[in-house]
Amino acid sequence: MLESLLKKYWGYDSFRPMQRDIIVSVMQGDDTLALLPTGGGKSICFQLPAMAKEGVCLVFSPLIALMKDQVDNLKTRGISAVALHSNLTSREIETEFQNTLNGKYKFVYLSPERAATKIFRSYLVNFNVSFLVVDEAHCISQWGHQFRPEYLRLGELREIQPDLNIIAVTATATTSVVSDIAKYLSLHKDYKTFRKSFARGNLSYLVMRDSNKILRITKILNKLKGSGLVYANTRRKCEEIAIALQREGISAAYYHGGLENDKRSAIQQSWIDNKTRIVVCTNAFGMGIDKPDVRIVFHFEKPESPEAYYQEAGRSGRDGLEAYCILLADKETKVDAWNKFPSIQQIEHTLLCLYNHHKVAFTAGNGVTYPLDIISFAENFKIGVHQVANCLGVLHSLGYAKLNERIFQLPKAKFLVEQAELYAYQVKNKVQDMFIKLLLRSYGGMFEYYVSLNFGELAKRQKYSIGDITKQLEILNRDGILDYVAAEDGNTLTYLQARPTKITFDKKAYLILQAREEYRKEYVQHYEKTTSDCRENLLLAYFDEKRKETCGKCDICRLAKKSNVGNAQLDVFIKKIKELTLNKNLELEGIVTSFGSFEEHQIITIVKWLLDNEYLTKTNHIYTWTQNQE
């Protein structure tokens, strides 16, 4: 039965390792914790048993983009699904709750905030739920890299449906995070845990230093076939890199949250169809996208954490074939905003400025959402943009305010009257009658749910202007015939509690968040700078997976093998070369002879690697250690 469902809906003949065991656990009604690496097929582990069971599967996910990707993916397979998130109106949400109650959907994706609302809990009592899924379950732990306080309320849902089974899935969880997941989700004592090794045998992890990163990327892409991604930390940087690659003859596009929805979808589809080779993107790209043949993932700048790097780099090689994950390290050791965790004073000041910016009165603001242009806000209050961004992340984790995803929403509409009343209105209003007929010809289901409207297509069909369409929708909205929701764009901020008369932060929670972030930053720096550790083993160790053997494929392991020195000795050799060449001018012969009995090719191999990574500079046969390398 399970294999037939797998074939019917997903087109696969067999399961990946561990998938079937997890599915059987879910089918048996056990609380289940699945720890699978990026690209390990987590979604099938709960989607397939949901298809085999009666009722609706409720999936809690932290990202709107991820929810939408998963719902779109299910719909293409002929499976009924809907995503309920903050970009929908309260009327839309209640309509979809009614539809769920009537059995319309097999999957309902929700934001974790939704679990705490009275309306959701009132409906949950009567929902026929197959089981509940907590996706990205690491968000429930303060030691997780994306702690979200709203996740802490999910365990309370068992009070409403005591027999509800919970499935928690994540690709990035340490031992302490796993413990928190079980505790805060109130998993049954006999819950089942499935943990697959985070090792990806087909991936090669490499770190390269180059003062001309664009040239390095271009050289690699000219040697390597296949599509890839380049991750950057800001929108502006994405655009700059994509344009630079285009000038080098590379088929590249940029992708970030500032683009309109239609444009982002077109870029994504062009890349999936291999019409665009490289997408330069922020971490907004990649969630829920299953493109198996990505051959290379570059990180143009430091990732924010080992978890982020593992997830983003892990989008390569999902077909099991050889792929490369390359971090382009900075030549200089920089101490910048990347390293800084905001102080309590900075967080308090930013929050006060936000309250003043939005004119939030004391004891007001709980649950209210306001527009927020981060750049203009930072300029008005003379706060650095990086500081604002860092403070917003901490304020979310401390439960004060949440910066919402920037998702461009098409205009939407739904008829509020029955067909008989609509017909009577059309008879009396000839101009609106023509427009209503256009809507009814163009879209189905407008009496049952909100439909996204494409103004360009409507204008072509009836020779309307965009202004005419907007005017007609506003008239019908004013007359109570339909509910019209205009297009939305831009960042918004939601206050998670009322403005207190005095701001007091949970010092213990703050210190945990600070320690967590500093540890992650230090780990990324060590991963970037090491000259002796196997890079894959470093990533595995971060996730509490110890492995004695080295990967043999990362740049450190390759250098150790090629020089026949061994990983443990590499650092010793490199430190000695640094001592010999720091503030000194030395020829290659002098470096080689300093190592006594070691073979010449061993030392030359290491020297060449140091040159390639700009630790050493060579001028007229003279070797000198680069001053800004530690």
Condensed to tens digits (0 to 9), the pLDDT of residues 136-149 reads 999 999 888 889 99
Average pLDDT of span 302-331: 92
Contact 280, 230 (CB under 8 A): yes
Cα(493)–Cα(402) distance, integer angstroms: 6
Cα(62)–Cα(115) distance, integer angstroms: 12
The pLDDT assigned to 338 comes to 52
Banded model confidence at residue 407, pLDDT cuts 50, 70, 90: low
Average pLDDT of span 22-36: 96
The pLDDT assigned to 205 comes to 98
Per mean pLDDT, which range of 101-105, 460-464, 553-557 is the poorest? 460-464
Banded model confidence at residue 566, pLDDT cuts 50, 70, 90: confident
Residue 529 domain flag = no
Residue 181 domain flag = yes
Query: Which segments of 199-295 does DSSP mark as H helices, in order?
Result: 213-223, 235-247, 261-272
Residues 314 and 211 in one domain: yes
Average pLDDT of span 195-215: 95
> Would the CA dihedral through 594, 596, 599, 602 be positive or negative?
negative
Residues 368 and 417 in one domain: no
Residue 524 domain flag = no
**In this structure, what CATH number is given to the domain that contains residue 302?**
3.40.50.300
Element (H, E) at 403: strand 401-403
Query: Which segments of 106-234 does DSSP mark as H helices, in order?
Result: 118-124, 157-160, 175-184, 213-223
Residue 550 domain flag = no
The pLDDT assigned to 290 comes to 72
Query: For the chain, give me the number of helices (H) and strands (E)?
Result: 25, 22
487, with CB counted inside 10 A (0-12, 13-18, 19+), is middle
Residue 481 domain flag = yes
> Would the CA dihedral through 398, 403, 404, 407 be positive or negative?
negative
Element (H, E) at 488: none
What is Dmax (Cα atoms) for the chain?
A: 101
β-pairing verdict for 451-452 and 412-415? antiparallel
Structural domain total, the chain:
5
Cα(236)–Cα(259) distance, integer angstroms: 12
DSSP of 418-460 = -HHHHHHHHHH-HHHHHHHHHHHHH-S-TTTS-EE--HHHHHH
Banded model confidence at residue 477, pLDDT cuts 50, 70, 90: very high
Residues 174 and 208 in one domain: no
One-letter identity of residue 331 = K
User: Which one has a higher pLDDT value, 234 or 132?
Assistant: 132
Residue 56 domain flag = yes
Give the residue from 309, 353, 352, 349 showing the smallest Cα distance to 329.
309
Contact 37, 173 (CB under 8 A): no
Rg (CA), the chain: 27
- For residue 353, pLDDT beyond 90: yes
Contact 363, 501 (CB under 8 A): yes
Banded model confidence at residue 628, pLDDT cuts 50, 70, 90: low
The pLDDT assigned to 337 comes to 47
Per mean pLDDT, which range of 34-48, 284-298, 594-608 is the poorest? 284-298
Q: Distance between the two ends of the chain, CA-based, in angstroms?
A: 59
Banded model confidence at residue 630, pLDDT cuts 50, 70, 90: low
Q: How many CA atoms lie within 13 A of 592 on its CB side?
A: 11
Residues 66 and 184 in one domain: yes
Residues 295 and 397 in one domain: no
Query: Which segments of 161-234 does DSSP mark as H helices, in order?
Result: 175-184, 213-223
Residue 169 domain flag = yes
Residues spanned by the domain of 512: 337-407+490-518
Measured in degrees and rounded to the nearest 5, phi and psi for residue 211 equal -70, -15
Tokens of 370: 């306001």
Residue with tokens 């210190």: 511
Residues 257 and 395 in one domain: no
User: Which one has a higher pLDDT value, 331 or 171?
Assistant: 171
Residues 99 and 183 in one domain: yes
Kindly give, in sequence order, each residue whose CB lies less than 8 Å from that of residue 352, ignoring residues fewer than 6 positions away.
503
Integer angstrom CA distances of residue 26 from 154, 429, 438, 579: 18, 56, 47, 59
Contact 149, 397 (CB under 8 A): yes
- For residue 212, pLDDT beyond 90: yes
Residues 121 and 263 in one domain: no
Domain limit, last residue, from 464, 485, 506? 485
Cα(253)–Cα(258) distance, integer angstroms: 14
DSSP of 304-328 = SSHHHHHHHHTTS-TTSS-EEEEEE
Element (H, E) at 154: none
One-letter identity of residue 569 = Q
**In this structure, what CATH number is given to the domain that contains residue 387?**
1.10.10.10
Contact 439, 414 (CB under 8 A): no
The per-residue pLDDT of the chain, averaged, comes to 91
Residue with tokens 């991936």: 203
Residues 278 and 394 in one domain: no
The pLDDT assigned to 444 comes to 82
Residues 51 and 189 in one domain: yes
Residues 7 and 83 in one domain: yes
Measured in degrees and rounded to the nearest 5, phi and psi for residue 404 equal -85, 155
Domain limit, last residue, from 265, 298, 332? 332
> Would the CA dihedral through 240, 243, 245, 251 be positive or negative?
positive
Question: What are 109's strand-pairing partners?
Answer: 59, 83
Residue with tokens 């026929």: 128
Residue 439 domain flag = yes
Banded model confidence at residue 373, pLDDT cuts 50, 70, 90: confident
For 109, the 3-state DSSP assignment is strand
Residues 65 and 171 in one domain: yes
Domain limit, last residue, from 150, 173, 195? 195
